Amino acid sequence: MLEFKNVTKTFNIGTVNERTALNDISITLPKGDFVTLVGSNGGGKSSLMNVISGVYLADSGSITLDGRDITFLPEHKRSRDIGRLFQDPMKGTAPNMTIAENLFLAYGRARRLGFRIGVGKNLTSLFQERLALLDLGLEDRLRTKMGLLSGGQRQAITLLMATICTPKLLMLDEHTAALDPATADKVLKLTEAIIKEEKITTIMITHDMHQALELGNRTLMIENGKIIQDLSGPEREAMTVDKLVGMFK
């Protein structure tokens, strides 16, 4: 469960560029919630993600994840429990390291393994098994460097890295927006399958209003740093894309 209580974040305090990105936001996400997050550019979507992940610390309020207060926890410590994918497939992986090495870094971070431990046979089998699920023919390319892969292949592996040890929270920041339609659809379906199977609490930023209503079980709309709509249950089921776009405007 993720709990946001009265969280505020203001940038450039005391200057002409002062801007409140998050304005006294309170949200509760029960375990297994899959939330789609919509809003205009500058509305607060990315700031919300960055404050949750620890890129920025909140000015006030509190953040708890599964009962643990993470409000002032450094980003690298939160990353053990929080998986995140970005729009840019180049982020989240080390291009000069192999697929196996990237997967091991993700697995080791979540499992808190030391760097002295190598990629043994057991882990190699695990990585091949997980890669086979991607259906991209990567299970036999563990020694291939990440920088040689296509954007779709890298994003699929980044998804695998973020979920190879089930995170308490998964954050998806328009993670298919930079991919071609066919690859984006494949990565999105894979995302849904993993989230459903592992029952991962998830927040996904999207500008696609169809995705906002079709995916997950809840839709939040953020504007000027405030949550202005929280749709779930029958209300969300009855919502149409046209109505949502109207609300967005």
The answer to whether the CB of 200 falls within 8 A of the CB of 163 is: yes
Domain made up of 2-246: CATH architecture: 3-Layer(aba) Sandwich (3.40)
Residue-wise pLDDT tens digits, 190-240: 999 999 999 999 999 999 999 999 999 999 999 999 999 999 999 999 999
CA distances to 49, 51, 71 from 4, in Å: 12, 10, 9
The answer to whether the CB of 140 falls within 8 A of the CB of 131 is: no
- Least confident range from 2-16, 19-33, 63-77, 109-123: namely 109-123
Q: Which amino acid is at 108?
A: G
The answer to whether the CB of 174 falls within 8 A of the CB of 206 is: yes
Q: What stretch of H or E contains 88?
A: none
